[in-house]
Amino acid sequence: MDERRVPRRRATKARQGGASRLRPEEERMDMKLELVLIPVSDVDRAKTFYTERVGFIEDVDVRPMEGVRVVQLTPPGSACSIGLGQGLPAYDDVAPGVVKALHLVVADIEQAHAALVGRGVQVSPVQDVGGGVKYATFADPDGNTMTLQEMSWRTGDQF
């Protein structure tokens, strides 16, 4: 079997640094990453970029109290969303532009690249790094970056 096709194994207790302190009935606890906060300087500008240019879906845009705004956007087909906002330490205490290389896995990077360029997004040329892996990157108006990633051996499983 081709080594590139072997799925990564989860860390074992030994690789995690020792025996688990949990009781056997507590060994497994599902944890799903569902929201990544993206610090931005202008929520409206970022929301427009991600929805109109990149094609994310608006899930939430609320102002739960004076001076607070929470926006949640989801890439099509993703279980994980991004959060934009203001008025809370999670948004205000982080400098805009520091999030780098969040990966958006796509089945066809050339098609995704063309779609983004067609919507006015400046995307780097597609790089084939070998082994069926290809990348292209783009930045939002604040300099946070996302990486399109195609892994040819995974596309059948993921899409």
CATH code of domain 32-158: 3.10.180.10
Residues forming beta bridges with residue 149, ordered by sequence position: 105, 135
Residue type, 79: A
Q: pTM of the prediction?
A: 0.81
- State how far the Cα of 92 lies from the Cα of 97, in Å rounded to an integer: 12
Strand partners, 60: 72
Domain spans, the chain: 32-158
Per-residue pLDDT of the chain (159 residues; tens, 9 = 90+): 444 444 444 444 444 555 556 666 677 889 999 999 999 999 999 999 999 999 999 999 999 999 999 999 999 999 999 999 999 999 999 999 999 999 999 999 999 999 999 999 999 999 999 999 999 999 999 999 999 999 987 655 544
